[in-house]
Amino acid sequence: MPVRFTGSVQNYAWGGTTFIPSLLGRTPDSSPCAEWWLGTHPVAPSVVSGTDEPLSSVTGEMSMLVKVLSCAAPLSLQTHPGTEQARKGFAKENAAGLSLDDPRRNYRDDRAKPEMLIALTPFEALCGFDDVDSTVEQLKAYRWREEAEVLDLYGIDGYMLWAFDQRTAPELDACPAWLRRIGELHPGDRGLRIAPLLNHVQLAPGEAISLPAGNLHAYLSGDGLEVMESSDNVIRAGFTPKHVDVNELQHIVDSTVLEHPKLRPENGTYTGPGGAFDVRRIDLAGSTTVSADCTTILVRTSGAVDGIRADEAIALTAGESIDLSGNATLWLCRQH
């Protein structure tokens, strides 16, 4: 039968202070609440409501991880590996004797981590590479003449090799506000020269971005629903005090131009990269029945559902259904 369960809040420094506490029916304070994890990942496994029983005892280990994310400050410039890259990287770091909690780790498991983010409030992000010609003109407008010349001559891959080798900070006076803000938070960071190559995306609520393996990205601000394969593998290139591994990133990153960074739902369904999971929005106004044909997490992001606490989500396995009533925005997240 469907099971109600509670997730785990992650208090990373970049998190907002109001969105997640308010969603969970808690009184906000000054503590950052960055992510609410829903799933069976061992870093922060969910538990069946009213018990100490892990969710995995009901659903088995899930291949999907769902997070509500609240971003008050920019996250790191990062990418995630594909399946074979994750297997090799995990084995290599194991062979080097790095413990799973070693801060030098890029790979904490042997799984790929494709992601999708759906905006719940206005959301700002960097996602995938823009085309070279327009970026060259943009760099010229920043008065970054040398950067524009390097990109024009050597393309994205050659530019990244050059940019990560620089040891002087770029001048940001003529840059847009979002880039100046990152520069204020991370002065002299080598990723500052990389960020303008990416698509600067502003999402309205309900709009989404897809982040397949190798996609270089950074979340800048806003609240969203993030769904991914259940992995904690992150290769960072900048904007963080955490471990940065430029060499590994250059092996993993996909420098293909991403012409259309926004993900369009089809028939009301957002399909994650590679089809590993999908998400459907349900606007509950009264009563409805939700049926599952695969392992599914049902999460509320506004309003109220009768008989379900604000800090609970619902897990269903294939063949199960649940009757719901209330007025709420729900998201049906399905692993395949």
- How many degrees, rounded to 5, is the angle at CA 205 between CA 274 and CA 288? 80
Q: Which amino acid is at 246?
A: V
For tokens 């269903």, what's the residue?
Answer: 316
Which one of the listed residues 111, 190, 193, 236 is annotated catalytic? 236
Contact 102, 169 (CB under 8 A): no
- Give the C-alpha separation, 319 to 316, whole Å: 8
Q: How far is CA 22 from CA 34, 164, 303, in A?
A: 13, 40, 11
Q: Is 152 helix (H, G, I), strand (E, B) or coil?
A: helix
Q: How many CB atoms lie within 10 A of CB 229?
A: 26
For residue 306, give the DSSP letter.
T
Whole-number CA gyration radius for the chain: 20
Q: Which amino acid is at 165?
A: D
Strands (E), the chain: 3-6, 8-10, 35-38, 47-48, 64-71, 77-79, 115-119, 123-129, 198-203, 208-211, 217-229, 235-238, 262-263, 269-271, 277-291, 296-305, 312-316, 321-335
Catalytic (active site) residue 236: yes
Contact 217, 125 (CB under 8 A): yes
Please list the active-site residues.
236
